[in-house]
Structure 1
Amino acid sequence: MSLEARGVEVWRGRGRVAGPLSLEVQPGEVLAVVGPNGAGKSSLVAALSGELRCKTGDVYLEGRALHQWPYLERAQRLGVLPQESSLGFGFTALEVAALGRSPHARRGGDASDLDIARAALDATDTQHLASRAYTTLSGGERQRVQLARVLAQLWTPPAHGHRYLLLDEPTASLDLSHQHLVLERARAFAQDGGAVLAVLHDLNLAARYADRIAVLDQGRCVETGTPSGVLTPGLIAGTFGLQVEVVSRPDLPGPLVIPLGRAPAPP
């Protein structure tokens, strides 16, 4: 039971942007995907969500090729929060969150779907925005409302199998407090039996909230493991071009990465 990329290559136009790579996220864990700009992180999410088909290899959802799943059944198990979500209509925040219930909605709607949408807004600290027009919200507020939509989509576990949540840079437009709130929700989703893959730029957030970290560079996965095993000064210098000190603290679940400056360019 997992969401797995097996030897996938992802192309955009005539260029390969990711792969070949293999990666698996399992129920009960948060997997953080990190890497420099252009490493292929968003392309990996696009492949895992079915937005992009793989040129070689394939993505498997619970042992079955992703493209073989009926769209409705797949949407009841797999939700994705992209980097940007455009919406030009004057829907309220509550109506946007309620869109997540579409894969579950019965003909004529169901009052419980609206209750779930409200609960999802509450989980993302956007309940006070329920009646506001989505187009009037700030970037961070929109991101949290979109997360509420995805949480509402996956709120109800399927009768068989698990739920999978893909987050592409979910903290990019958020203030410090809400960055932690969003990842606390991801952590709670995993503890409730779901699987989470989150693309993150902040290595300290990845260390704090992830069970495992996958490091991508030039479209390939160069290292996967626990935060303490992956976040080493040598790997960070070689992948990100940054000199760091990595400190272990007993009061934190993962190591603390302290930037020291750009690493010298290789000779």
Structure 2
Amino acid sequence: MSLEARGVEVWRGRGRTLGPLSLELVPGEVLAVVGPNGAGKSTLLSAFAGELPCTVGEVLLDGRPLLKWPPRERALRLGVLPQESSLGFGFTVLEVALLGRSPHPMRGDSGADLEVAQAALDVMDIRHLSSRPYTSLSGGERQRVQLARVLAQLWDAPAHGSRYLLLDEPTSSLDLSHQHLVLEEATHFARNGGAVLAVLHDLNLASRYAHRIAVIAGGRLVELGPPAQVLRADLIASTFGLQVQVVEWPDVPGPFVIPSGRVSPPA
């Protein structure tokens, strides 16, 4: 069981924006994807989600080509939180969370979906906003509502196969406390048999919460492995143009990255 990009390339016009690249996301893990701006991280996530067609290669969901899954069945297994989620209608927060239940068949219990949506709001610490119009919320609150919607979508494990949660910069609009809340929930989701791919910019958050880190640059996979293997000063300097110190930190599972200055460009 896995979500696998196999020999994937994505071309736009005459330019290749991603690949060739192979990467597998397996149940039980949080996989962080990091890299500089324009590296192809969001393109990779869109390819994994089936939102962006692969020019070469394919994405497999539990061994079956992703695009051959019926949409409803795929939605029961694969949930996506994009960087931005536009919603111009005056839905309440609870109604937005309930949208995540739309792929699920009617189960004869009118309250079951409501309970799941409320539980997802609890997880994201926003149940107190249930009756508020979504459009009245701050950017960080909206992001948490959208994640609650995706969690409600994937709340029930499918009868066969696993669940895959794809997060594109899920902490970008959040305060410090809620950044950790979101990634703690990602690890909880993985511990319960799901798999999480999260595009992150903060290397220390990736180090703390990810089981593996994939470094992307120029549309290619530069490095893949556990945080202690990947987060090296030389790799960070060559990939991000930043001089850092990488140190061990008490009670933190991965190394801690301390910036010390930009790498001087060659003369």
* Interval of TM-score (by shorter of Structure 1 and Structure 2): over 0.9
Q: Secondary structure at the match of 1:251?
A: coil
Q: Secondary structure at the match of 2:103?
A: coil
Per-residue CA distance 1:164-214 (angstroms, 9 max, x = gap): 000000000000000000000000000000000000000000000000000
Q: Cα offset for 1:13?
A: 3.9
Which residues of structure 2 form unaligned runs of 5+? none
Partner amino acid for 1:16? R
Partner of 1:147: 147
Distance 1:107 1:207 in 2: 41
Distance 2:187 2:203 in 1: 16
Matched, 1:251 2:251: yes
Aligned residues: 267
Q: Percent identity?
A: 73
Q: Secondary structure at the match of 2:53?
A: coil
Matched, 1:78 2:109: no
Q: Is the 8 A contact 1:105 1:113 kept in 2?
A: no
Q: TM-score, normalised by structure 1?
A: 0.98
Partner amino acid for 1:118? Q
Partner amino acid for 1:92? T
Partner of 2:51: 51
Distance 1:106 1:126 in 2: 26
Distance 1:109 1:56 in 2: 44
Matched, 1:97 2:128: no
Partner of 1:106: 106
Per-residue CA distance 1:81-119 (angstroms, 9 max, x = gap): 000000000000000000000110418873101100000
Which residues of structure 1 form unaligned runs of 5+? none
Question: What CA RMSD, in Å, does the superposition of the two structures yield over aligned residues?
Answer: 1.2
Distance 2:238 2:211 in 1: 22
Q: Secondary structure at the match of 1:193?
A: coil
Partner of 1:30: 30
Partner of 2:158: 158
User: Does the C-alpha gap of structure 1 residues 191 and 107 become closer, same or farther in structure 2, counting only changes over 3 Å?
Assistant: closer
Which piece of structure 1 moves more, 16-25 or 94-103? 16-25
Distance 1:213 1:266 in 2: 28
Q: TM-score, normalised by structure 2?
A: 0.98
Q: How does 1:1-267 map to 2 (within 5 A)?
A: 1-106=1-106, 110-267=110-267
Q: Secondary structure at the match of 1:101?
A: coil
